[in-house]
Structure 1
Amino acid sequence: NETLAKIEEEFNSMPFNWTEGKEDAKIGIIVEGAPYNYVKEVLPEVNAEFRVLKLSTPHPLPRKLVVEFLKGLDYAIVVDEGAPFLEEEVKVAAYEAGLNVPIYGKRTGHLPLEGELTPSLVKNALLRLIGEAEEAYEKPEEIKLAESLAPKRPPVMCPGCPHRGSYRAALDALRDLKLGRYKVPIHGDIGCYALSLLPPLEAIWTEFVMGASISLANGQSIVMDKKIIATIGDSTFFHNGIPPLIDAVYKNLNVLVMILDNRTTAMTGHQPHPGTGGSETGRKFNEIDIEALVKALGVKYVKTVDPYNLKETREAIEEAMKVEGPAVVIARRECVIPVIRRGEIGEKPIVVEDRCTGCKACILLTGCPALIYDPETNKVRIDELLCTGCGVCNQTCPFDAIKFPSELKRGA
């Protein structure tokens, strides 16, 4: 507490916190971070004089600086990104200083609590503040029209992402076991695989913090008296997934942990980790074997599979779901991006048109961006520029209409 008080005192005079605008302006704006750029952009479009306090150090709040800024103002607005943390702190500082200055922001409805800020939202808030706009920001009709015409494009995993196969196999295994995706919780973790939350997979129920997938599964397995699935990436597992797995072994909890080992830290730039055996500079280190590590922790059922092989992965998951106590399935396949960079993409499948019925099962079951439906021909085609030849679509087509050229040569 003493240290924070000293830091706050330094923040009160730090040059990274400053005021700008007309000295005798009666309307104040308190802002920090990216929204400051929005404020600067829209101020010339608002017919009023404002005084701006730009904060670069929201915590601990430099209360003396804030209070001095608020003195003499008729009212102020706090422009926050995300939760209204700064707005609430400013209101506490004003109250404790005995200032009766109205302070507006997200809590008063001038800015939305949800979603990201935009210059339009900030401009509307300022106009409402000075009485030149009565309602909350409404998108212009031309923008609404454009959004209604544009195809919906949820973020998806890369073409050839091994996680697509892992989750497809997990959902198929639950179907085969007559459990269904809404009966067995599947917890996600921090990584690319969090995109499995979105259509068409809609597999994971949660994404919280690193390692929480296993921790949440541990707790739920006790209160729900059923096998709960946790999915976690290799780098996340090394970072914070080992302790909750130890807990699952120690207490013999009924969980299935799927370790999605794509041999890198893909989400944040392909950094190495203890399972890759190297460093950022190319130095060679000892590679920690995930399967050996998991077995050493005492997990009785451990199987490593290739997520490009849906049958193998599905069968391993079905076996693991029948195991009493903790079980681990390691889905090991390198992230496709480094493979592309090395130029190691192999054979790519094609659509056999006379077999394709246009059912779109391949698209609806995988969500792969390389699969394109042509409404004119009622056929699916494969974008060769995007396709990486993973073969997951080849295994999901119910009419055997997606084949590799080598298969066709063999008469398959």
Structure 2
Amino acid sequence: MPHPILAAKPGETLLLLGNEAIVRGAVEAGINFVSCYPGTPSSEVPDTFFRLAPEGEYTFEYSVNEKVALEVAGGATLGGALCLCTMKHVGVNVAADPFMTLAYTGTPGGLVLLSADDPGCHSSQNEQDNRYYARLAGMPVFEPSTAQECKDMTRDALLLSRETGSPVLLRTTTRVNHLRGPVECGPVSAPQEIKGFSKNPAQFVPIPAFARSMHDRLLDRIEVLRGHAEHSVFNAVSGEGRIGVVATGISRAYLHDALLDCGLEGQIRVLELGFTAPLPEAKVVEFLTGLDKVLVAEELEPILENEIRVLAQKNNLPLTVLGKDILPRQGEFNTGVLAEALQHLSGQGDFQCVSCEPAEGLPMRPPNLCAGCPHRAAYYAARQVFGDDAIYSSDIGCYTLGIVPPLACADFLLCMGSSVSAGSGLSKATKQTVVGFIGDSTFFHSGVTGLINAVHNNHDLLLVVLDNRTTAMTGHQPNPGVDPEPLGDDVAQVDIESICRGCGVDAIRKVNPLNVSKTLDAYTELRGMKGVRVLITEEPCPLFARRVYRKKPKMTAYVEDGYDMAEGVLEKLACPAFRLCDGKMEIDELMCNGCMVCVQLSDNIKARKRGA
């Protein structure tokens, strides 16, 4: 049976994640080509396309990084394909170069870039607001607030891009990506016709002589898109009164609940903006006229607020514009925050932002490396050889959790791939010993260029490539180094060791990190060398191995009577399968993954067959 996301009939209702609804919207538009680099909160979009690819009539790929993903989609749309490219918000930093140029060249086949922003830093190193990118490039922006809008806006954004030749930014946030709601399906279009590339260097080759004209065309296109925004069904006015609220994104959903909670439904004039850029200026001015004050509710940066302030001034509108002077500029909103703001607007009290304060007295549950994770063994061995004598340069991945004591193997982190290049720079400037850690997917993403630079400039760096055979942090997506057999045809494996040798690294060692003695020996040997050297620790993520290879642990560890706490296994390894009961160390057999690292470290911890 075809999957419902592909096969649902017009009028049929599905219960979908926001991310799944985006997939349905693309299918309804007749999508031809999808590329991505996975990253939470966007990951379920490409993962769904990947799962459905055998049934779907589109081409899908996991690209090596976001820049490549957008360039691949960019080439496809220049050839006439309708394209969707997905990534999380910090990925747009990586893709910014082709992002800006595609706004100049245009997208003949149609191209939507999904930027999944992360207010609150649920899974990210910052809270950047990528609506700035769209304004910098001159792209239209859609911001859904429900699963239904995720589907509808994706479909309409793709078709708008194909019609106007402009790339479109679909800006979601974590709460929108991961909400679940009813989605009424529309008709599924046949895949769009791919007409092929038509040569026109003046349109597609942005050398300076052509780029100036491209910019003129871009400015004209923005005004055409503004006309679309003025009449968009995603921009709607409701309610009455002399107090107004302009809301966008998930703030619109919070606003609906807040109006009900405060008994103000229909008594406050509301402008909901879903097609937010270019700003529909005539619609906004019409909305503002006659208001005494207006609140702009948008998460993170005061982008709409500032644009509305300018509009009000240019049109001599005598009203007060409120926004980030009362609403927080960081983190997420919620219904309580907007309820407080509405009460303040209507003269029922001062805004205290009590709803933004974290709850007190709740137990902390810090993230931790999984039981049996091979990275834990690699970090343990590094600590035994280097201790605090080395500076540990970390990178983006689940292995960043090596920051947690007692492993404490993450001293600084900038961005993906920076463990190599930033680690090299610190070593060069300070002459301190630097050990860098990078995962296999991140190595392919942006570690290779840093490694080439380190070799070329004769840096002194030990780089540990933590190869767990998958892209573990974002949901076990494939990367160029994974075993191609479970993925089927049309994929090839790229060998990390061969890449390192091709980059000019001679000192390379490879170990299974679960073999503690060999890992210690490799660290010790490489510590005695200078220059660029690489240690590859190769062992599958146990969760991935269990799910994909159906590999179940055969052994479990247990603690014999007479275990001496002075041995320090609990304190040095801190596996989440360990527990302390009445002063005695125990191992939870249900959590134990059978890595047996602890057995190698203690004479009083033994192994036995699971279930025995």
- Name the residue aligned to 2:578: 371
Is 1:53 aligned to 2:274, yes or no?
A: no
- Name the residue aligned to 2:365: 153
- Name the residue aligned to 1:404: 607
Is 1:394 aligned to 2:606, yes or no?
A: no
How far apart, in 1, do the equivalents of 2:584 and 2:563 lie?
9
- Alignment deviations for residues 336-379 of structure 1 (CA, whole Å, 9 cap, x no partner): 1122231421211001232143x7944443443222222xx211
How far apart, in 2, do the equivalents of 1:314 and 1:82 lie?
46
Q: Contact conserved, 1:277 with 1:284, CA < 8 A, in 2?
A: no
- Name the residue aligned to 2:467: 261
Is 1:179 aligned to 2:385, yes or no?
A: no
Q: Contact conserved, 2:441 with 2:470, CA < 8 A, in 1?
A: yes
Shift of 1:42: 1.7
How far apart, in 1, do the equivalents of 2:228 and 2:427 lie?
49
- Structure 1: stretches of 5+ with no match in the other structure: 407-412
Q: Contact conserved, 2:559 with 2:604, CA < 8 A, in 1?
A: yes
How far apart, in 2, do the equivalents of 1:314 and 1:99 lie?
71
Is 1:134 aligned to 2:340, yes or no?
A: no
How far apart, in 2, do the equivalents of 1:297 and 1:255 lie?
14
Is 1:120 aligned to 2:336, yes or no?
A: yes
Task: State the secondary structure of the residue aligned to 2:436.
Answer: strand
Is 275-284 or 190-199 further displaced after alignment? 275-284
Shift of 1:31: 2.2
What letter corresponds to residue 37 of structure 1 in structure 2?
A
Q: Contact conserved, 2:300 with 2:328, CA < 8 A, in 1?
A: no
Is 1:306 aligned to 2:516, yes or no?
A: no
Q: CA 1:304–1:60 in 2, change beyond 3 Å: closer, same or farther?
A: farther
Q: Contact conserved, 1:8 with 1:61, CA < 8 A, in 2?
A: yes
- Alignment deviations for residues 28-58 of structure 1 (CA, whole Å, 9 cap, x no partner): 2222222322222221112442222222244
Q: Contact conserved, 2:333 with 2:356, CA < 8 A, in 1?
A: no
Task: State the secondary structure of the residue aligned to 2:246.
Answer: strand
- Alignment deviations for residues 2-32 of structure 1 (CA, whole Å, 9 cap, x no partner): 244443442232222322x31x322222222
Is 85-94 or 327-336 further displaced after alignment? 85-94
Q: CA 1:138–1:238 in 2, change beyond 3 Å: closer, same or farther?
A: same
Is 1:103 aligned to 2:321, yes or no?
A: yes
Q: CA 1:211–1:13 in 2, change beyond 3 Å: closer, same or farther?
A: farther
- Name the residue aligned to 1:170: 382
Task: State the secondary structure of the residue aligned to 1:328.
Answer: strand
Shift of 1:188: 2.6
Shift of 1:96: 4.9
Q: Give the superposed CA RMSD.
A: 3.0
- Name the residue aligned to 2:552: 344
Is 291-300 or 92-101 further displaced after alignment? 92-101
Task: State the secondary structure of the residue aligned to 2:399.
Answer: helix
Is 1:316 aligned to 2:526, yes or no?
A: no
Q: CA 1:34–1:380 in 2, change beyond 3 Å: closer, same or farther?
A: farther
How far apart, in 1, do the equivalents of 2:502 and 2:228 lie?
51
What letter corresponds to residue 389 of structure 2 in structure 1?
L
Alignment: residue pair count: 387
- Alignment deviations for residues 66-88 of structure 1 (CA, whole Å, 9 cap, x no partner): 34333332222222334444444
Q: Contact conserved, 1:226 with 1:254, CA < 8 A, in 2?
A: no
Q: Contact conserved, 1:365 with 1:396, CA < 8 A, in 2?
A: no
Is 333-342 or 271-280 further displaced after alignment? 271-280
Q: CA 1:267–1:249 in 2, change beyond 3 Å: closer, same or farther?
A: same
Q: CA 1:273–1:136 in 2, change beyond 3 Å: closer, same or farther?
A: same
Shift of 1:277: 4.2
- Alignment deviations for residues 321-343 of structure 1 (CA, whole Å, 9 cap, x no partner): 44322221111110111222314
- Name the residue aligned to 2:260: 44
- Name the residue aligned to 2:296: 78
What letter corresponds to residue 292 of structure 2 in structure 1?
D
How far apart, in 2, do the equivalents of 1:61 and 1:314 lie?
60
What letter corresponds to residue 425 of structure 2 in structure 1?
G
Q: CA 1:61–1:195 in 2, change beyond 3 Å: closer, same or farther?
A: farther
Shift of 1:265: 1.4
What letter corresponds to residue 156 of structure 1 in structure 2?
N
Shift of 1:297: 0.9
How far apart, in 1, do the equivalents of 2:526 and 2:276 lie?
48
TM-score (norm 2): 0.57
- Name the residue aligned to 2:562: 354
Q: CA 1:288–1:383 in 2, change beyond 3 Å: closer, same or farther?
A: same
Is 1:15 aligned to 2:265, yes or no?
A: no
- Name the residue aligned to 1:410: none
Identity %: 35
Q: Contact conserved, 1:356 with 1:380, CA < 8 A, in 2?
A: no
Q: CA 1:66–1:323 in 2, change beyond 3 Å: closer, same or farther?
A: farther
- Alignment deviations for residues 91-118 of structure 1 (CA, whole Å, 9 cap, x no partner): 444445554543333x31x333333332
- Structure 2: stretches of 5+ with no match in the other structure: 1-217
Q: Contact conserved, 1:154 with 1:199, CA < 8 A, in 2?
A: no
How far apart, in 2, do the equivalents of 1:93 and 1:205 lie?
47
- Alignment deviations for residues 117-151 of structure 1 (CA, whole Å, 9 cap, x no partner): 3222232232233332335233699x95xx42x43
How far apart, in 1, do the equivalents of 2:437 and 2:588 lie?
30
Q: CA 1:95–1:140 in 2, change beyond 3 Å: closer, same or farther?
A: closer
What letter corresponds to residue 402 of structure 1 in structure 2?
I
Q: CA 1:179–1:199 in 2, change beyond 3 Å: closer, same or farther?
A: closer
What letter corresponds to residue 172 of structure 1 in structure 2?
Q
- Alignment deviations for residues 378-401 of structure 1 (CA, whole Å, 9 cap, x no partner): 11222222210112333455xx43
TM-score (norm 1): 0.83
